[in-house]
């Protein structure tokens, strides 16, 4: 039986109405398009009155389908679905088409705009009659959660969820939790001691009954879907039996092998071959670095084993893989520091007294290699002058186009520390100083008062080639002082390079494991940059902290908490509704060719060997439709985006085009379609 379609053209004030002849479009639809029983135009369809038009017509005219020509569906699709629902129509029987963003706002020529609107409406009408009533599907939610990464963002998220009374698996690749924050001395802009605020949280994690800490471990694979994930976790061998170890540290004391610590000490300090990254490490259990351990390299030593009072050392330990069931996953894998060697004109690695920001953080830390003393590479001499170089590897298309966000404030913090701990003068070379959070601009003002110098100009090169008297034995920064428009050479004893924050090398890899995409830069992509910043396109997977983009501590903590809130919300609901836009396979038509099996990145398509048929795990399907268009037998159909629906929309559009051709009036075709005038 024929459907009864109602068409509603929105003027959006003059936004659409000012360019598109809405009454004409409505009239044309009524007269030219099959199944259209009602066709109206109205000033504001999204207004209550506009929505009432739809509801009433559904009741009075017995509409079975609704087409709305207005703004972008991304704005008001929900609105008009609800209106249809309120009128007693299944919301998925409403089709919206975009006459504003895609027509009136981008077209100068009115005739052209009107013609284009007609064809879009025609497309929508043809499509809507093929649409089917759909209902969202409920699935249960497991109340365990996996948090990947135990930096400050992951720690915050884990604690929030655990405190809400739910079990958390907290995964950390390094031997200890704490992340980068554990390496810092002070935090901007308040200058409170990083360890003092982090350490308590770390021991909370250690003691929390709802948190199961999995350190020295990585996520091997993730399968399943929202509410019902299975995670495989690979635990590397510490060579120390955790339950037996008391963390007394005797083994570390006795270990004869000293190694440069490129991880925690950023390369300016040493550790033993059996070590604990830092005294307050959580857990306290040490690990053996098998690359450097004398026993593993040469086959003899075993000092640690000899001296261990509880016999906890076990050189035969092997890695283990375990599987955990979780309902939600939070990614908080953080960032990695930019390799300053790549900017060879800055001479890092060539000139001893050029340091990276992370090296300097460790130097300032009273628990660091220099006991907090600011000294040159020789380890004793205090610098008389220090230069801080901004944007090293940031805002630079040769390295990373983005702004790393935190460096400006960290540079101010460094400036303060230098002025506080030494008699040196400090000069910062910046392009723009970005201090746009609470208390940040005030901190900048404070540093001006404290006598830190600022030069606006990106440093062109750093050299030890003296040119003028007074430059001998110094490191010279050459830059243009852009506020003076003059080239400037600035000799100093010590340089600090504010290196960029970069995505982890394996972030893309991890993204593919869990079905989260990465931006071109390699940061995880959130569902919506403004309105949904911690969710991802994969339901049940959330992001927090710097793995989603450079962030400072406050922002990371906020995101950790936000992600936790989303997870707790999910758990409390017990079950979640998933959009019904999914694919399904018609067994009659499926030839078992398995072409579709390889097309799905979510592993939603399974193959039944007995029946030799492919099948789709509905809850896993995200509805992209790639398998639908890939099936040679047309056996797969995509709900709400079926071949019939899309081809009908195409027919509708072509219908107007052919009609236009016939009448010669076809939309833009008479006048030259208005271009940038």
Partner 1 sequence: MSDISALSTEPSFLDEVIDATSGGDRLRSCLQCGTCGGSCPNGSDMDHTPRALFALIAAGEREEVLSADAPWFCVSCYACTVRCPRKIPITDLMYTLKRIAAREHFAKKQDAVALAENFNRFILRYGRSFEFGIASRFYLTRKLGSIFSLGPLGIRMMRHGRLSLTPSKIENLAQLHAILDKARELGGES
Partner 2 sequence: MTFAYYPGCSLEASSEAYDISARAVCERLGIELQEIPDWNCCGATEASALGYLSGHALVARNLALVDKSLKDVVAPCASCFLNLKKTDKLMKEDRKIGGKLAEALEAGGLAYEPGSLRIRHLLEVVHRDIGHDRIQQAVVRPLTGLRIAPYYGCQVVRPVGDSGDADDPEQPQAMDELFSWLGATVVDYPVKAHCCGGHMTQISTEMSNELLRRLLYTADEHQADIIVCACPMCQLNLDAYQGKVNNAFNTAFDVPILFFSQLLGLALGIEADALGFGKEIIDSKDVLAAKLDQEETAETPSAPRRTRRVSRSLPMPKKD
Partner 3 sequence: MSEPVFEPRIVGFFCNWCSYRAADLAGSARLKHAPNMRIIRVMCSGRVDIEFILKALAGGADGVLVAGCHPGECHYVEQNYKTIRRVAMLKHALKPLGIDPNRVRLQWASAAEGPQVAAAIDEFVDELRELGPLNWTGQWAGRGEECREAVDKIAAEHKEAMEVMP
Q: Which pair of tokens denotes residue 84? A: 């249809």
Report the residue from 396, 464, 506, 617 that binds partner 1 according to the rule CB under 8 A: 396
- Least Å distance, CB 387 to partner 1, is 13
Report the residue from 321, 352, 483, 650 that binds partner 2 according to the rule CB under 8 A: 352
Which of partner 3, partner 1, partner 2, none interacts with 431 (beta carbon under 5 to 8 A by kind)?
Answer: partner 1
Q: Does 351 bind partner 2 (CB under 8 A)?
A: yes
Q: Does 306 bind partner 3 (CB under 8 A)?
A: no
For residues 270 and 607, which CB has a smaller minimum distance to partner 2 in the complex? 270
Distance between CA atoms of residues 575 and 226, nearest Å: 10
Q: Does 644 bind partner 3 (CB under 8 A)?
A: no
Report angle CA 351, 357, 361 to the nearest 5 degrees.
115
Helix (H) or strand (E) holding 98: strand 94-98
Report the residue from 267, 522, 592, 673 that binds partner 2 according to the rule CB under 8 A: 267
Q: Does 112 bind partner 3 (CB under 8 A)?
A: yes
Q: Does 622 bind partner 1 (CB under 8 A)?
A: no
On whether the CB atoms of residues 183 and 264 are closer than 8 A, the answer is yes
Which of partner 3, partner 2, partner 1, none interacts with 628 (beta carbon under 5 to 8 A by kind)?
Answer: partner 3
Distance between CA atoms of residues 387 and 389, nearest Å: 6
Which of partner 2, partner 1, partner 3, none interacts with 73 (beta carbon under 5 to 8 A by kind)?
Answer: partner 3
Distance between CA atoms of residues 525 and 595, nearest Å: 29
Measure Cα distances from 485 to 233, 306, 414, 457 in Å. 57, 67, 27, 10
Q: Does 370 bind partner 2 (CB under 8 A)?
A: yes
Closest CA relative to residue 67, chosen from 94, 99, 105, 42: 94
For residues 103 and 343, which CB has a smaller minimum distance to partner 3 in the complex? 103
Q: Does 674 bind partner 3 (CB under 8 A)?
A: yes
- Least Å distance, CB 301 to partner 3, is 47
For residues 382 and 396, which CB has a smaller minimum distance to partner 1 in the complex? 396
Report the residue from 14, 310, 345, 586 that binds partner 1 according to the rule CB under 8 A: 345
In 344-435, which ranges are continuous DSSP H helix?
357-364, 407-421
For residues 207 and 398, which CB has a smaller minimum distance to partner 1 in the complex? 398
Binding to partner 3 in span 596-635, by CB under 8 A: 599, 601-602, 622-626, 628-630
- Beta bridge partners of residue 487, listed in sequence order: 480
Range 566-570, long-range pairs (CB < 8 A, 24+ positions): 566/534, 566/535, 566/542, 567/145, 567/157, 567/161, 567/166, 567/327, 567/328, 567/330, 567/542, 568/160, 568/161, 568/164, 568/166, 570/141, 570/226, 570/227, 570/327, 570/328, 570/540
Q: Does 461 bind partner 2 (CB under 8 A)?
A: yes
Q: Which pair of tokens denotes residue 27? A: 């009239």
- Beta bridge partners of residue 385, listed in sequence order: 425
- Least Å distance, CB 495 to partner 2, is 12
Distance between CA atoms of residues 238 and 359, nearest Å: 27
Q: Does 457 bind partner 1 (CB under 8 A)?
A: yes
Interface segment toward partner 2; rule CB under 8 A; list 175-183, 234-242, 262-270, 559-567? 262-270
- Least Å distance, CB 244 to partner 1, is 54
On whether the CB atoms of residues 538 and 514 are closer than 8 A, the answer is yes
Distance between CA atoms of residues 319 and 235, nearest Å: 5
For residues 229 and 430, which CB has a smaller minimum distance to partner 1 in the complex? 430
Residues with Cβ within 8 Å of residue 386, at least 6 apart in sequence: 374, 418, 422, 424, 425, 426, 427, 492, 493, 494, 495, 496
Q: Does 370 bind partner 3 (CB under 8 A)?
A: no
SS (H, E, C) 422-437: CCCEEEEEECCCCCCC
Report the residue from 262, 519, 591, 606 that binds partner 3 according to the rule CB under 8 A: 519
DSSP string, 548-614: GS---HHHHHHHHHHHHHHHHHHHHHSEEEE-S--EEE-TTT-----TGGGT-TT--EEEETTTTEE
Interface segment toward partner 2; rule CB under 8 A; list 74-82, 101-109, 182-190, 457-465? 457-465
Number of residues that bind partner 2 (CB under 8 A): 34
Q: Is 460 exposed, middle or buried (0-12, 13-18, 19+ CB in 10 A)?
A: middle
Number of residues that bind partner 1 (CB under 8 A): 22
Report the residue from 1, 318, 380, 531 that binds partner 2 according to the rule CB under 8 A: 380
Distance between CA atoms of residues 370 and 669, nearest Å: 76
Report the residue from 43, 342, 488, 513 that binds partner 1 according to the rule CB under 8 A: 488
Q: Does 10 bind partner 3 (CB under 8 A)?
A: no
Report the residue from 366, 381, 487, 517 that binds partner 1 according to the rule CB under 8 A: 487
- Least Å distance, CB 547 to partner 1, is 25
Interface segment toward partner 1; rule CB under 8 A; list 314-322, 475-483, 494-502, 566-574? 475-483
Maximum CA pair distance of the chain? 96
Interface segment toward partner 2; rule CB under 8 A; list 200-208, 226-234, 467-475, 542-550? 467-475
Distance between CA atoms of residues 647 and 462, nearest Å: 62
Report the residue from 203, 246, 262, 482 that binds partner 1 according to the rule CB under 8 A: 482
Closest CA relative to residue 286, chosen from 368, 176, 177: 176
Q: Does 466 bind partner 2 (CB under 8 A)?
A: yes
Which of partner 2, partner 1, partner 3, none interacts with 537 (beta carbon under 5 to 8 A by kind)?
Answer: partner 3
Q: Does 85 bind partner 1 (CB under 8 A)?
A: no
Q: Does 345 bind partner 2 (CB under 8 A)?
A: yes
Interface segment toward partner 3; rule CB under 8 A; list 24-32, 173-181, 568-576, 649-657? 649-657
Distance between CA atoms of residues 436 and 404, nearest Å: 13
- Least Å distance, CB 472 to partner 2, is 7
Q: Does 478 bind partner 1 (CB under 8 A)?
A: yes
Q: Which pair of tokens denotes residue 259? A: 């190694």
SS (H, E, C) 176-222: CCCCHHHHCCEECCCCEEHHHHHHHHHHHHHHCCCEEEECCEEEEEE
Distance between CA atoms of residues 36 and 66, nearest Å: 9
Q: Does 316 bind partner 1 (CB under 8 A)?
A: no
Which residues here bind partner 3, judged by CB under 8 A? 72-74, 98, 100-103, 105-109, 112-113, 115-116, 119-120, 123, 508, 511-512, 515-520, 525, 537, 581, 599, 601-602, 622-626, 628-630, 638, 641, 643, 646-647, 649-651, 653-654, 657-658, 661, 666-670, 672-677
Which residues here bind partner 2, judged by CB under 8 A? 260, 262, 267-270, 341, 344-345, 347-353, 356, 369-370, 375-380, 461, 463-467, 472-473, 475
């Amino acid at each position: 039986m024929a459907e009864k379609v109602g068409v509603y053209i929105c003027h959006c004030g003059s936004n659409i109405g000012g360019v598109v002849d809405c009454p004409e479009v409505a009239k044309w639809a009524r007269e030219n398009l099959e199944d259209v029983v009602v066709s109206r135009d109205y000033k504001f369809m999204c207004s209550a009155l506009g929505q009432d038009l739809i509801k009433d017509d559904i009741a009075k005219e017995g509409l079975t389908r609704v087409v709305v020509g207005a703004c972008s569906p991304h704005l008001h699709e929900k609105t008009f679905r609800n209106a249809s629902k309120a009128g007693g129509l299944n919301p998925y029987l409403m089709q919206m088409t975009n006459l504003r963003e895609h027509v009136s706002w981008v077209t100068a020529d009115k005739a052209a705009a009107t013609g284009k609107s007609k064809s879009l409406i025609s497309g929508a009408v043809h499509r809507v009659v093929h649409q089917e009533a759909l209902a969202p599907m409920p699935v249960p939610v497991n109340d365990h959660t996996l948090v990947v990464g135990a930096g400050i963002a992951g720690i915050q998220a884990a604690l929030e969820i655990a405190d809400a009374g739910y079990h958390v698996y907290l995964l950390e690749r390094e031997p200890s939790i704490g992340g980068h924050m554990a390496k810092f001395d002070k935090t901007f802009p308040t200058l409170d001691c990083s360890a003092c605020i982090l350490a308590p949280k770390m021991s909370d994690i250690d003691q929390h009954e709802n948190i199961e800490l999995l350190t020295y471990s990585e996520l091997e694979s993730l399968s399943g879907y929202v509410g019902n994930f299975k995670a495989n976790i690979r635990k590397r061998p510490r060579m120390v039996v955790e339950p037996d170890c008391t963390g007394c540290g005797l083994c570390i004391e006795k270990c004869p092998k000293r190694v440069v610590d490129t991880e925690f000490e950023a390369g300016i300090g040493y550790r033993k071959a059996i070590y604990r990254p830092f005294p307050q490490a959580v857990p306290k259990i040490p690990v053996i670095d098998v690359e450097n351990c004398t026993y593993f390299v040469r086959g003899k030593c075993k000092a640690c084993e000899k001296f261990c009072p509880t016999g906890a050392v076990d050189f035969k330990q092997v890695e283990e893989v375990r599987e955990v069931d979780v309902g939600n996953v939070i990614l908080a894998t953080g960032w990695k520091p930019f390799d300053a060697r790549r900017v060879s004109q800055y001479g890092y690695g060539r000139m001893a007294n050029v340091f990276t920001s992370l090296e300097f953080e460790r130097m300032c830390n009273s628990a660091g290699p220099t006991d907090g003393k600011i000294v040159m590479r020789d380890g004793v001499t205090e610098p008389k002058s220090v230069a801080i170089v901004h944007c090293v590897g940031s805002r630079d298309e040769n390295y990373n186009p983005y702004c790393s966000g935190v460096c400006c404030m960290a540079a101010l913090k460094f400036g303060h520390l230098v002025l506080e701990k030494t008699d040196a003068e400090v000069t910062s070379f910046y392009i723009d100083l970005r201090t746009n959070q609470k208390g940040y601009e005030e901190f900048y003002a404070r540093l001006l008062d404290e006598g830190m110098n600022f030069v606006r100009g990106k440093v062109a090169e750093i050299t030890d080639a003296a040119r003028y008297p007074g430059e001998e034995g110094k490191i010279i920064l050459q830059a243009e002082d852009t506020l003076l428009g003059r080239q400037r050479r600035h000799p100093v004893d010590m340089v600090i390079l504010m290196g960029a924050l970069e995505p982890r090398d394996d972030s893309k890899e991890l993204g593919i494991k869990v079905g989260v995409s990465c931006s071109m830069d390699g940061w995880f992509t959130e569902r919506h940059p403004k309105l949904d910043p911690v969710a991802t396109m994969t339901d049940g997977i959330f992001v927090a902290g710097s793995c989603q983009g450079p962030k400072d501590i406050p922002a990371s903590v906020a995101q950790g908490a936000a992600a936790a809130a989303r997870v707790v919300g999910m758990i409390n609901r017990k079950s979640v509704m998933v959009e019904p836009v999914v694919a399904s396979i018609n067994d009659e038509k499926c030839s078992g060719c398995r072409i579709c099996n390889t097309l799905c990145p979510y592993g939603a398509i399974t193959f039944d060997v007995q029946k030799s048929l492919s099948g789709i795990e509905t809850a896993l399907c995200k509805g992209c439709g790639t398998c639908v268009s890939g099936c040679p037998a047309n056996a797969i159909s995509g709900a709400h985006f079926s071949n019939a629906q899309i081809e009908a929309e195409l027919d509708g559009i072509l219908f107007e085009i052919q009609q236009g051709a016939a009448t010669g009036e076809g939309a833009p075709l008479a006048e030259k379609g208005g271009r940038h005038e």
